[in-house]
Every structure is written in C-alpha cells, then in structure tokens.
Amino acid sequence: MRILAIADVHSPRFHEEFKLELSMHSTPDLFLMAGDMVNRGNAEEIVRVLDTIEDTLGLGFPIIGCFGNEEYNEIRKKIMKLVDGRMVFLDEQWSTVNSDGKTIGIVGTQGSLDKATTWQRRNIPGVKRVFERRAARASSLLKGLMKKVDHTILLMHYSPCLETCEGEEDKAFGWLGSRKFYSVVEKRQPDLVIHGHVHNASQHEAIIGRTLVRNVAFPAVRTVTELELWD
C-alpha cells in the first residue's frame, strides 16, 4: 500500500511549494492530511488544496484528514461542508479503507498537548479535561478498531513523542505534543502514527514498540511524505 501524507501546508502560505512537491509523486492508494492544511481559519483554502491534489494526482483514491489547531473549532462544520464527497475528516472518529484485500483502519484526532496555550486556556472551557478525554477516546477507538481490521493508523495533528520533536527546544514539547498520547501508542501499538504540527523538527521518524511514527509537517520535511507499507 502506498500512502502520501502531509500536514501544515497552512494554505496559502506554503501552497505553491506543496504543489511543486506533489507533482513529484504519482497516484497513491491513500492520501492523509494531518491538520493545519489551511492558515488561521481560512476555510475556503481547503478547496484549493483539494483542487491541487486532484489536478496533480487525479481521482479514485481516498483522502482522509484530521483537524489541526488552525482549523478552528468554529469553522470545522464549514470545512466539512466544503469538502463533502471529496474527502473525509475524522474528528475523534474512525474509518476504513481497503487495499489489495486488506482492510486499513484509521483513527483521526487533533491530539492533545501537555500544556495548553494561553489562547486555549482562555477560549476552551476545561481544556485540560478536553485533552485527557481525547487521549482516552483515541485509545478506546484503537482498541475497538483493531478487532475489525488488518492494520491500524493513528492520524493526529499534535506529536505523540519527543523523538519527532527533536530540533525544537526541549522545553517546548509541552506545547507540541502529549505524553498521554505516547502512552496510548505504547499501549495500543497501531502500525503507523502520522502527525504534524512540529515545524522545526530535525528528526522525522521514531519507533514506539512496533509502531512507526512519522512527522509529516511540510515546514519540517519540505516534501510530501511517501510510505510503502504492508506489501
């Protein structure tokens, strides 16, 4: 199965670079977006991103995404309406795709932070409990999904581990990811974790147990990440 994955295009900010890098790839079996595909709540940019993917790679493959912190809560319904029938956003939900006789289960979530930002503390009531609930929900979804599928992917925006944040300041991890999600990955062992959010990472891959973790944030990797798995 060939997967293309991307995060943090922040369209229109990195859109032209994304378009150029996308042209280096051929049609995948699955395309994953790990959040912050639009910049600062500019919902209409998701249509531009999808148009670019379809114009470059064609149709006939599933596109599945999760929300990032710049797909603000108040615009998410609008985004889902704009992309209806063209892609699926998973917001603490799961979906499945079939490839070469295998069923792949994908759990999508924004993820959590160890330390809420100032904006989050001011604008999200009970944000600490929200972050705890997201981790518990992801764990529950993975547990149930693993009984139904051949392989599992956890698609999230924030990072689940320190390793793929290397390159950032050590003290910054609390605003980049969550130890609670590390525990989820360590316990549930999905086959693959795709995340974004960490723009300055110098290390883009880690292993937690038997789980492969990849940071696909465009500002960090400067390309569209391609993975060949489960052949």
The domain limits of the chain are 2-228
From start to end of 38-169, where are the E strands?
A: 63-65, 88-89, 93-99, 102-109, 151-156
Cβ distance 202 to 166 under 8 Å?
yes
Cβ distance 153 to 191 under 8 Å?
yes
| Domain 2-228 classification at class level | alpha beta
Among residues 176, 227, 156, 167, which one has the least CA distance to residue 203? 167
Residue 58 backbone phi and psi in degrees, to 5:
90, -160
CA dihedral 7, 162, 137, 40 (to 10 degrees): -30
**pTM of this prediction?**
0.97
User: What does the H/E/C string look like for 179-224?
Assistant: HHHHHHHHHHCCCEEEECCCCCCCCCEEEECCEEEEECEHHHHCCC
Q: What is the pLDDT along the chain (231 residues), one digit of tens a residue?
A: 999 999 999 999 999 999 999 999 999 999 999 999 999 999 999 999 999 999 999 999 999 999 999 999 999 999 999 999 999 999 999 999 999 899 999 999 999 999 998 889 998 889 999 999 999 999 999 999 999 999 999 999 999 999 999 999 878 899 999 999 999 999 999 999 999 999 999 999 999 999 999 999 999 999 999 999 986
Looking at residue 123, its pLDDT comes to: 86
Looking at residue 119, its pLDDT comes to: 85
